[in-house]
């Protein structure tokens, strides 16, 4: 490898570079002049255009349309017929039995059946309504998670760029020391290798930004190649809700729990309706026979009922089926409550752990590592510290800053998942 030489009079690593680095970490800098990307407009767009949300809304609408169908009577029947004597001629008006016949009939379910069917359809529609709300919350949480993944990718890219610039300056310092025979060629190679590895990471973060943008566009309902700006970094505020209160709020507001509760209520109605099937339905019919000629017209009124003769293998089994479904619905409700409690506990633990680690990185490890790096840099310039020490301090600083923003992103994503199962933003807990 041919190494370029620098004059001894070239300025070494500027002392203001670490200060500039700290400002980049604390304030955040744009990778490019991309337009700022706001979170709430993305969520609003997703709730309006997401195919998943639109599909759940359509299912909820379809369930509401089933309510008037359930409470309506079966369609009446109308019959037109002709009765003739013999096959050799048209005997209408000539014989007593020849006649045109007209009849109409209507089936009336046993009292109470229609009301139960309407109630069951209403519970079913309410269930689909709650599931639609759950879908909206889930899509909102997914948008938030992808948004913070994108923010993290931009932050990582910014940190890598800032450290690449510092490694370049360390390289210049190593070249200057080498040219003055105060340093070795190995120091130069080490600084160059670290810089090139950061350039590799920079390309990886660029690819991460592109893939995350594609997933975010898909979730929002945009074309996969639609341009997106740089996510705006939200202000940090402590998460003040306790886990017990989160669980209480989730049990009261969670649309998933509400949907399961309505399923339990619908299963009770289903049991009552199955028991009603033991009772017969009634069919009322009216008939008019037009004789023609000298013969008098005839009419008749009839009623008929179905006899549940095979109730042991039909109606009774239907009751057993409805009761089994009711037991399943109750257990499904309990399983959903346990799952939501588990999700809240898990993500609440993530929030608290992330807050502690962020405080450790920001107020402990990062300032301390910065001081170590500044001291090592001064020692390297004067020849008291080798290049490996300076490089290791800078790598540690990059690692801790990257971990800080990683925990920042995980914290926000965990809060989004809590909100999704708790029925929306939690008062006192939302940032």
Asked if 128 and 60 touch (Cβ cutoff 8 Å), the reply is: yes
Secondary structure letter of residue 100 according to DSSP: E
Phi, psi of 305, deg, nearest 5 = -130, 145
The whole-number pLDDT of residue 28 equals 42
Residue 362: DSSP 8-state: I
CA 223 to chain centre: 19
Q: CA 340 to CA 331: how far, in whole Å?
A: 14
Q: DSSP state, 233?
A: P
Q: What is the pLDDT of residues 92-143, one digit of tens each?
A: 988 888 999 999 999 999 999 999 999 999 999 999 999 999 999 999 999 9
Per-residue model confidence (pLDDT) at position 31? 42
Q: Measure CA 341 to chain center.
A: 17
157: helix, coil or strand? helix
Contacts of 37 by beta carbon, 8 Å cutoff, 6+ apart? 147, 150, 228, 229, 230, 231, 232
Low-confidence residues of the chain, pLDDT below 70?
1-34, 167-192, 381-382, 426-431
What Rg value do the Cα atoms of the chain yield, rounded?
Answer: 38
288 CB-contact burial (10 Å; exposed 0-12 / middle 13-18 / buried 19+): middle
pLDDT value for 175: 67
């Amino acid at each position: 490898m041919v190494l370029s030489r620098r004059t001894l009079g070239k300025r070494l690593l500027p002392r203001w570079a670490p200060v500039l680095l700290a400002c980049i970490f604390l304030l955040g800098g744009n990778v490019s002049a991309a337009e700022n990307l706001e979170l709430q407009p993305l969520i609003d767009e997703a709730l309006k255009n997401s195919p998943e949300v639109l599909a759940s809304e359509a299912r909820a609408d379809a369930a509401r349309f089933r309510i008037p169908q359930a409470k309506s009577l079966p369609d009446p029947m109308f019959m037109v017929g002709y009765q003739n004597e013999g096959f050799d001629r048209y005997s209408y008006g000539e014989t007593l039995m020849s006649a045109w016949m007209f009849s109409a009939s209507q089936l009336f379910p046993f009292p109470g059946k229609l009301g139960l069917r309407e109630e069951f359809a209403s519970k079913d529609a309410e269930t689909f309504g709650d599931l639609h709300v759950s879908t909206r919350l889930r899509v909102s949480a997914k948008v938030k998670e992808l948004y913070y993944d994108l923010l993290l990718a931009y932050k990582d890219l910014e940190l890598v760029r800032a450290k690449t610039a510092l490694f370049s300056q360390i390289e210049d310092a190593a070249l200057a020391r080498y040219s003055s025979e105060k340093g070795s060629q190995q120091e130069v190679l080490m600084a160059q290798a670290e810089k090139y590895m950061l350039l590799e990471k920079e390309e990886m973060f660029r690819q991460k930004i592109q893939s995350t943008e594609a997933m975010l566009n898909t979730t929002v309902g945009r074309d996969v190649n639609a341009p997106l700006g740089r996510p705006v970094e939200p202000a940090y505020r402590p998460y003040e809700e306790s886990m017990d209160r989160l669980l209480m709020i989730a049990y009261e507001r969670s649309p998933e729990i509400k949907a399961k509760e309505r399923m339990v209520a619908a299963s009770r109605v289903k049991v009552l309706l199955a028991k009603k099937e033991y009772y017969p339905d009634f069919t009322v019919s009216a008939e008019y026979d037009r004789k023609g000629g000298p013969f008098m017209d005839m009419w008749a009124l009839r009623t008929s009922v179905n006899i549940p003769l095979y109730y042991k293998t039909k109606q009774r089994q239907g009751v057993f089926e409805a009761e089994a479904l009711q037991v399943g619905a109750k257990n499904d409700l309990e399983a959903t409550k346990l799952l939501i409690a588990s999700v809240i506990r898990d993500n609440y633990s993530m929030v608290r752990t992330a807050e502690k680690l962020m405080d450790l990185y920001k107020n402990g490890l990062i300032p301390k590592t910065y001081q170590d790096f500044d001291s090592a840099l001064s020692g390297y310039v004067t020849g008291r510290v080798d290049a490996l020490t300076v490089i290791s301090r800078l790598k540690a600083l990059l690692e801790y800053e990257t971990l800080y923003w990683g925990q920042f992103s995980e914290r926000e994503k965990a809060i989004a998942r809590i909100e999704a199962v708790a029925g929306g933003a939690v008062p006192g807990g939302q940032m």
